[in-house]
Amino acid sequence: MRPYQHKVQYYETDQMKVVHHSNYIRWFEEARIDYMEQLGMPYEDMEKNGIISPVISVEAEYLRMVKFGDTVVIEAKIKEYNGIKLTIGYSVVDESTGMVHCRGITRHCFLNEKGRPVSLKRECPQYHEMFLKGLEA
């Protein structure tokens, strides 16, 4: 799996040209969507099949500043998956130095169009198998 690459834009920074902390959460989402596509299950396909996966919690540990013009790679990896809930871990790494600037986790559940919990193992085995494949990687 290749990590997601992002070049820091000016609008993502504050007056000191340091990335505002809220943007890391957006980068996590961008990396997660890219990761799912690499696993072979684009998020939009899940939605077309009536499955949504809202974020139920998010954590970020900011280790170093990222600045305007830097390029980072965001590595996403499935940490936990049980068919009903999913945890993805992230590392935001400076492309040029290899230093980790942020680590984070997002936790998700799976719901149907009516907002009721879904067991992917029972209702969407193809997605269940893909997440298991990602967990083992």
CATH number of 30's domain:
3.10.129.10
Task: Enter the tokens of residue 41.
Answer: 């299950």
Task: Write down the residue that tokens 């969507």 correspond to.
Answer: 33
In contact, 90 and 135? CB cutoff 8 Å: no
In contact, 67 and 17? CB cutoff 8 Å: yes
- Tell me how many domains the chain contains: 1
Q: What is the pLDDT along the chain (137 residues), one digit of tens a residue?
A: 899 999 999 999 999 999 999 999 999 999 999 999 999 889 999 999 999 999 999 999 999 999 999 999 999 999 999 999 999 999 999 999 999 999 999 999 999 999 999 999 999 999 999 999 888 77
| pLDDT at residue number 15 | 92
- pTM of the entire predicted model: 0.93
| pLDDT at residue number 90 | 98
Bridge partners, residue 108, by sequence: 55, 86
Domain that holds residue 9: 4-136
| pLDDT at residue number 137 | 74
C-alpha count within 13 angstroms, C-beta hemisphere, residue 4: 23
| pLDDT at residue number 1 | 87
